[in-house]
Amino acid sequence: MLEIKDLHAGVEDKKILKGINLTVNPGEVHAIMGPNGSGKSTLASVIAGKEDFEVKKGSISLEGEDLEELAPEERAHKGIFMSFQYPVEIPGVTVTNFMKTAINESRKAKGLEDMPANEMLKLIREKSEMLEIDRKFLSRSLNEGFSGGEKKRNEIFQLAMMEPKLAILDETDSGLDIDALRIVANGVNKLRSKDNAIVVITHYQRLLEYIIPDYVHVLFDGRIAKSGGKELALELEEKGYDWIKQEVVV
Amino acid sequence: MAYTEEELKKELETKEYEYGFYTEIESDTFPKGLNADIVRAISKKKNEPEWMTEWRLEAFRIWESMEEPEWANVHYEKPDFQAISYYSAPKKADPNKTMDDVDPELLEMYRKLGISLDEQKRLQNVAVDIVVDSVSVATTFQKTLEEKGILFMPISEAIQKHPELIKKYMGTVVPKTDNFYAALNSAVFTDGSFCYIPKGVKCPMELSTYFRINEGGTGQFERTLVIADESSYVSYLEGCTAPSRDENQLHAAVVELIALDDAEIKYSTVQNWFPGDSDGKGGVYNFVTKRGLCEKNSKISWTQVETGSAVTWKYPSCILKGDNSVGEFYSIAVTNNFQQADTGTKMVHLGKNTKSTIISKGISAGKSQNSYRGLVQVNSRAENARNFSQCDSLLMGNECGAHTFPYIEAKNKSAQIEHEATTSKIGEDQIFYCNQRGIDTEKAIALIVNGFSKEVLNKLPMEFAVEAQKLLEISLEGSVG
Ligand SMILES: Nc1ncnc2c1ncn2[C@@H]1O[C@H](COP(=O)(O)OP(=O)(O)O)[C@@H](O)[C@H]1O
Ligand SMILES: [Mg+2]
């Protein structure tokens, strides 16, 4: 599904990612952990095609297709979805209108007609119920005045609406209380299938108790310093990141 | 195509004016220049009674003694008033003919403008009067309106048929002496619409006028007069376009609204005069005086979507004379490239318990300058006057400007006046967020701009809100390829 080879990326005079290798197969869930500033969000943004970052070396491909030349919206049309660590406010644009536009633009890119209104309505009803989102919430301006938790839940609502092939969740757990975390994780789990893949970026192993990963990678200073199974997350929780730092130095 | 500030700028620059076609119609155009004889000739051309000719001549003398105003935050080469032709009529248009007789080229022009005079508009319940250059060419739906006693016709026709109403009301809200352009208009106005809603009548459809400048080297000076008699209601829409030309064309209109006791007038404008090209060449100078007078318990609402013109100077205002009267101003002004807009409103509170609301949304892109200028004036006898003003500016890129000039003059201590202002920029983060959801940059900008303008778009009559949204998109987006 996703294949990252020797990826180096950064901003003008700063190297942030320094040789990332990662293969994610259909049906898998990968967790990426690591201390603040290690490059987790940068990795997510580079996969999504954010042009603030320059790819200096290496490649990213999705289902065998090199993404280099593709604009962010084209990557989205191919099935990449990113849940933002810091979702952006768009005043005056309702959640519903935003989703309608997003879905229909993606359909247009695939040569499909707009989704019929009743179908859209059904989809909204189904997904908002799944994530226990109040319908009133959907007529509010996108992320404007939302609490941290509401923003994250709304990201997962969008994920559920768009049904991507590859979902990247960037610190979706931060800002969520334990009940919300369970609801959101539950929503994510429902999307798991043998055909799609999920990359979960997180600080804490808390979320991973609900979304159980097949692999855990530790990102440290722009490199994957260690990979393992789900037990690695527990080990990190116990020993902290210093332990990895020492291993890297050794 | 992902978004960077540079690319956005480029996109905006490649935007083209959709209504920039010129229609070959034989026209009857006056020689350039302005003097008392030209004023007399216009009056004669219109078959006007003598009192009207005298009215015009007086306005002309007033205008001659006035100077063009300089206070607006706009910079442009002053028009040479002797280099303009003050009358141009499409030759084949004859107001007495039926639709079947209308020049097919004119009809084609309406089609390009997206106006249909027939079934489509009928279904939408819109009566349309169309003014091309100086003449009103077709008024649909007159019969249906007449049954209700509603008068809706070209102003030149009203001068002939309803002189008592014209004499009673014309120039009472915007006097000839009001300002330079109003005086000019009073002297040389060539056409425009007249509307009278009788007592207690709710006008069953939107009334609409389209203005179009077609001929080169001409100015357009239309005059609109809307009178809503006691307890009546009318919603009125005006739309404007002009062909792309290198020269600057002058448009100096006067609109007067009169809402008698308990009446309500909604006046909406979608203005899309040619804004000039991306180098700032050509475009319409839009110097307009619009004002409404509110008697007791009446209400006047101005809604405007201003995307066109090279220079705009326009302040639709309300004189809240009657107790408990209400004035509203909802505005979206978009400027791009080298456009300059100085627009806003005046709310003059004279009566007790008068209320006004001002919502202004300015969107600036390119190298344009967008100014809001508003005056809230509370007279000493206006007990319990209330005003709420909100002015929001949205900037795209780093070379444009947004300015806010709110003036408040409160002479009564009981006045409650609130003013809020915000300035924001379309952020790269917002664009990327949309891109990530599969929405390309062009669509993303449209979405953000529509969201920003929503409170005002919602005030437009339904069928025009869609049109206005499209217009916002056209004005701000280029061909992203
Ligand atoms: N647009 C940017 N410009 C400059 N530096 C950046 C930018 N984005 C991220 N960085 C830097 O790159 C490093 C990694 O950031 P980030 O990917 O957000 O880390 P994480 O998500 O792991 O906390 C940090 O040092 C951060 O300051
Ligand atoms: Mg991060």
Nearest chain A residue (CA) to B3: A51
Phi/psi at A88 (nearest 5 deg)?
-95, 145
Residues, chain A, total?
A: 250
Query: What is the per-residue pLDDT across A171-185, written as a single tens digit (0 to 9) for each?
Result: 999 888 888 999 999
Least confident of A106-115, B23-32, B121-130, B302-311: B121-130
How far is Cα B236 from Cα B269, in angstroms, rounded to an integer? 8
A47 belongs to a structural domain: yes
In angstroms, the separation between the Cα of residue A73 and the nearest Cα of chain B is 4
Q: What is the pLDDT of residue B100?
A: 55
Q: What is the 3-state secondary structure (H, E, C) of B257-294?
A: EEECCCCEEEEEEEEECCCCCCCCCCEEEEEEEEEEEE
Would the pLDDT of B445 be above 60?
yes
- Three-state DSSP at A21 gives strand
CB-CB under 8 Å, B1 with A92: no
For residues A226 and A244, is the Cβ–Cβ distance under 8 A?
A: yes
How far is Cα B191 from Cα B200, in angstroms, rounded to an integer? 28
| CB of A111 less than 8 A from some CB of B | no
Nearest chain B residue (CA) to A70: B1
Mean pLDDT of B114-135: 52
* Closest atom, ligand 1, to C-alpha of A39: 17
CA A135 / ligand 1 centre spacing (Å): 36
- Axis-axis angle for helices B50-64, B180-188 (nearest 10): 150
Q: Which residues contact A34 (CB under 8 A, 6 or more apart)?
A: A40, A218, A219, A220, A225, A241
Tokens of B18: 């959709």
A83 belongs to a structural domain: yes
A138 belongs to a structural domain: no
A206 belongs to a structural domain: yes
| CB of B433 less than 8 A from some CB of A | yes
* Closest atom, ligand 1, to C-alpha of A42: 17
Beta bridge partners of B32: B85
Residues of chain B with Cβ-Cβ distance to A145 below 8 Å are none
A118 belongs to a structural domain: no
Of the two residues A106 and B99, the one the predictor is more confident about is A106
For chain A, helix, strand, coil in percent to 5 are 40, 30, 30
For residues B339 and B310, is the Cβ–Cβ distance under 8 A?
A: yes
With CA atoms as reference, report the closest residue to B449 among B431, B433, B429, B437.
B431
For residues B332 and B453, is the Cβ–Cβ distance under 8 A?
A: yes
Phi/psi at A152 (nearest 5 deg)?
-70, -40
Tokens of A8: 């180096």
Least confident of A118-127, B120-129, B393-402: B120-129
CB-CB under 8 Å, A90 with B437: no
Residue carrying structure tokens 């970026």? A201
Mean pLDDT of A63-90: 96
Q: What is the pLDDT of residue B218?
A: 62
How far is Cα A138 from Cα A95, in angstroms, rounded to an integer? 5
A98 belongs to a structural domain: no
A129 belongs to a structural domain: no
CA A212 / ligand 2 centre spacing (Å): 20
How far is Cα B183 from Cα B169, in angstroms, rounded to an integer? 16
Pocket of ligand 1 (CB under 6 A): A 11, 14, 16, 34, 36-42, 52
Residues of chain B with Cβ-Cβ distance to A97 below 8 Å are 447
CB-CB under 8 Å, B432 with A162: no
Tell me what ipTM this predicted complex has: 0.96
Residues of chain B with Cβ-Cβ distance to A50 below 8 Å are 2, 432
Q: How confident is residue B371, by pLDDT bands cut at 50, 70 and 90?
A: confident
CB-CB under 8 Å, A101 with B447: yes
CATH of the domain at A224: 3.40.50.300
How far is Cα B268 from Cα B210, in angstroms, rounded to an integer? 12
In angstroms, the separation between the Cα of residue B71 and the nearest Cα of chain A is 34
* Closest partner CB to B447 (pick from A51, A52, A93): A93
Residues of chain A with Cβ-Cβ distance to B455 below 8 Å are 92
Predicted model pTM: 0.81
Residues of chain A with Cβ-Cβ distance to B428 below 8 Å are 52
Q: How confident is residue B463, by pLDDT bands cut at 50, 70 and 90?
A: low
Q: What is the pLDDT of residue B132?
A: 60
With CA atoms as reference, report the closest residue to B84 among B212, B186, B216.
B216
Residue carrying structure tokens 């956005």? B8
- Three-state DSSP at A61 gives strand
In angstroms, the separation between the Cα of residue B68 and the nearest Cα of chain A is 40
Q: What is the 3-state secondary structure (H, E, C) of chain B?
A: CCCCHHHHHHHHHCCCCCCCCCCCCCEEECCECCCHHHHHHHHHHCCCCHHHHHHHHHHHHHHHCCCCCCCCCCCCCCCCCCCCECCEEECCCCCCCCHHHCCHHHHHHHHHCCCCCCHHHHHCCEEEEEEECCEEEEECCHHHHHHCCCEEEEHHHHHHHCHHHHHHHCCCCCCCCCCHHHHHHHHHCCECEEEEECCCCECCCEEEEEEECCCCCECECEEEEEEECCCCEEEEEEEEECCCCCCEEEECCEEEEEECCCCEEEEEEEEECCCCCCCCCCEEEEEEEEEEEECCCCEEEEEEEECCCCEEEECCEEEECCCCCEEEEEEEEEECCCCEEEEEEEEEECCCCCEEEEEEEEEECCCCEEEEEEEEEECCCCCCCEEEEEEEEEECCCCCEEEEEEEEEECCCCCEEEEEEEEEECCHHHHHHHHHCCCCHHHHHHHHHHHHHHHHHCCCCHHHHHHHHHHHHHHHCCCCC
> Where does residue A240 rank: exposed (0-12), middle (13-18), buried (19+ CB within 10 A)?
exposed
| CB of A215 less than 8 A from some CB of B | no
For residues B474 and B34, is the Cβ–Cβ distance under 8 A?
A: no
For residues B386 and B356, is the Cβ–Cβ distance under 8 A?
A: yes
Beta bridge partners of B290: B255
CA A174 / ligand 1 centre spacing (Å): 17
CB pairs under 8 A between A and B: 83
Query: What is the per-residue pLDDT across B266-280, written as a single tens digit (0 to 9) for each?
Result: 999 887 777 777 777
Would the pLDDT of B24 be above 70?
no
CA B336 to chain centre: 18
Q: How many CA atoms lie within 13 A of B267 on its CB side?
A: 28
CA A46 / ligand 1 centre spacing (Å): 12
Q: Which residues contact B6 (CB under 8 A, 6 or more apart)?
A: none
CB-CB under 8 Å, B443 with A93: no
Total domain count for chain A?
A: 1
With CA atoms as reference, report the closest residue to B389 among B371, B410, B374.
B374
* Closest partner CB to A105 (pick from B432, B439, B451): B439
Query: What is the per-residue pLDDT across B161-210, written as a single tens digit (0 to 9) for each?
Result: 999 999 999 999 999 999 999 999 999 998 888 999 999 999 988 887 77
State which residues form the domain around A199: 2-92+148-249
Ligand sitting nearest the alpha carbon of A35: 1
For residues B236 and B205, is the Cβ–Cβ distance under 8 A?
A: no
Q: What is the pLDDT of residue B228?
A: 98
Q: What is the pLDDT of residue B62?
A: 94
Which residues have beta carbons under 5 A from ligand 2 (an ion)?
A 40-41, 85
A224 belongs to a structural domain: yes
Q: How confident is residue B90, by pLDDT bands cut at 50, 70 and 90?
A: low
CB-CB under 8 Å, A81 with B433: no
